[in-house]
Amino acid sequence: MKHVIRPCARDDIIRQFRWYLIEQDASEAAFRFLDAVDESVGELLRMPEMGAPKAVRNPVLAGLRTWPVKGFEDIRIYYLVQREILKVVRILHGKRDIKPILENEPPEDDAVH
């Protein structure tokens, strides 16, 4: 299975990495977070249906699922599986107001990796 990490999800990863690195002065945690995202996406590529369904009204996200980032369980990967492609839509911390973020997620052109 191939995967796509949408631009908003890439921004989410960078934002969280910078938060650990700069705001928390925790470079080890920052790099561990990046590795954990890669590992968690890899798990989803092997078993994409294991994430819990997440109901949203946004038709762009029909079939949305969620899965925690390993070792950072408050941070969730929101993704779609469409035509043998795993699309990582967002990676968000649970303390954020997630519902409006997902409800306003626009359609995007995806580049497959």
- Give the model confidence (pLDDT) of 74-109 as tens digits: 999 999 999 899 999 999 998 999 999 999 888 875
Residue among 49, 88, 83 nearest 69 (CA): 88
Kindly state whether residue 76 falls inside one of the protein's structural domains. Answer: yes
Which pLDDT value is given to residue 106? 84
> Looking at residue 109, what is its pLDDT?
56
Q: Tell me, letter by letter, the H, E, C secondary structure of 17-45.
A: HHHHHHHCCCHHHHHHHHHHHHHHHHHHH
Which tens digits make up the pLDDT trace of 33-65? 999 999 999 999 999 999 999 999 999 999 999
Q: Is residue 113 in a domain? A: no
Whether residue 32 lies inside any domain: the answer is yes
**Overall domain count for the chain:** 1
Report the alpha-carbon distance of residue 97 to residue 3 in Å, rounded: 26
Q: Does the residue 110 lie in any domain?
A: no
Of 16 and 109, the structure prediction assigns the larger pLDDT to 16
The domain of 35 spans 2-103
In a domain? residue 111 = no
Residue 63 lies in a domain: yes
54 falls within a domain: yes
Residue 53 host element (H or E) = strand 52-53
Q: Which of 113, 9, 111, 102 is nearest to 60 (CA)?
A: 102
**Is 26 contained in some domain?**
yes
Q: Which CATH number goes with the domain that contains 40?
A: 3.30.2310.20
